[in-house]
Amino acid sequence: MTLAHYARIWFTSARYSIVRTLMFRGDFFIWALVELFWMTVNILMVSVIYAHTKTVAGWTKYEMLLLVGTSMLIQRFLMGFFWSSIFEMGRNIRSGNFDFFMAQPGNIMFMATTRKLDPDSLINSLVALSVVAYSAHQLGLHPSLLDLALYVFLIFCGVVIHYSVLVLCISAAFWITSAQGIEGSYFTLSEFSRLPRQAFVGVAKFAFVWALPMVVVSNIPAQVLLHGATPQAIAWILGITVAWFATAAITFHRGLRRYASASS
C-alpha cells in the first residue's frame, strides 16, 4: 500500500469522526469546555506560583508559560489525533474486537491507532498555541523562520514520542488481562512535561530527563524559541524519537503474535 492510499484512509476516517461529532454537538462542547477548564487551571497555577517568586529553576513567569503552552500543544495534538483510537485499542484487545483491524489490509498499527479524531482537543490546540504566542510576545521574542520551523518539527517529534509511549502502555494488553493501570500511568508521566528540566536533580533527573522523554519533549522546543537551536539538542530529540517509535512498533507487532481473537 502506498502513502497516498494511507492518506485516503486517514482522511476518510477523519471525515467520519467530524460527521459523528456534529451529530452529538452537546458532547463536543462539554468535552471542549472540560479540556479548556483543565488548561486554564494549569495557566492559573503558574500565575499563583509567580505571585510569590520571580523565578523557578531559573525560569521566569512568561518563560514558564511558554513551556506550559508548548506542553499543552503537544498533548492536545496527541489527544486529538490518537488518544481515542489507542485507548479503545486496549479494550478491543481484551474483548476480541481487535479482529476488525486484523482483517483489514494494510499496517495494523496504523489502522488501529488512527481510526478516530477528537475535534474538541484539536480546537483547544489553538488555545495552547495562543498561550505560546502571548508568552513569546511578553518576552519580546523574535524567532527566525528557521527557529519557527524547528519548533514545529520538534512539536511533531514530541507528539511521536508521546504516541510511542502510549502505544507501549496499551500494548501491554496483549500480555496481561487488563492494562488500565498502565494506561493511567501515561497521564502521571505526562504531568512532568510542564516542568523545566533544571528542576530535576539526582535520581529524578536520570528518570525523567534521560531515561524517560517526557521532560525534554516540551523543554527543547521551548528553548528553541527562547535561546535558539543547538545541533546537540536537535540530534538528541531526533534520536529518541526514532528509538521510542521503533520500540513501540516492535513491541506492538510482537504483541500481535500473542493476540487471541474472538473466534479462537
For residue range 120-161, list pLDDT tens digits in order.
888 999 999 999 999 999 999 999 999 999 999 999 999 999
Q: Are 162 and 78 in contact (CB under 8 A)?
A: yes
* Mean pLDDT of the region 185-214: 79
Query: Residue 262 domain-assigned?
Result: no
Query: Residue 249 domain-assigned?
Result: yes
Q: Is the pTM of this model over 0.85?
A: yes
d(CA 28, CA 186): 24
Tell me which residue range forms the domain holding 168: 3-256
Residues 6+ apart with CB under 8 A from 150: 224, 229, 234
Query: Residue 263 domain-assigned?
Result: no
Higher pLDDT, 26 or 62: 62
For 144-153, 171-180, 191-200, 238-247, which range has the lowest pLDDT when averaged over its residues?
Answer: 171-180
Higher pLDDT, 160 or 16: 160
Give 60-94 pLDDT, tens digit per residue: 999 999 999 999 999 999 999 998 898 888 888 87
Please state the domain count of the chain: 1
Residue carrying the nine cell digits 539526582: 202
Query: Residue 261 domain-assigned?
Result: no
Query: Residue 209 domain-assigned?
Result: yes
Query: Does residue 243 carry a pLDDT above 90?
Result: yes
**CA distances in angstroms from 60 to 64, 110, 115, 135, listed in the order given:** 6, 41, 40, 11
Query: Residue 201 domain-assigned?
Result: yes
Query: Residue 264 domain-assigned?
Result: no
Query: Residue 31 domain-assigned?
Result: yes
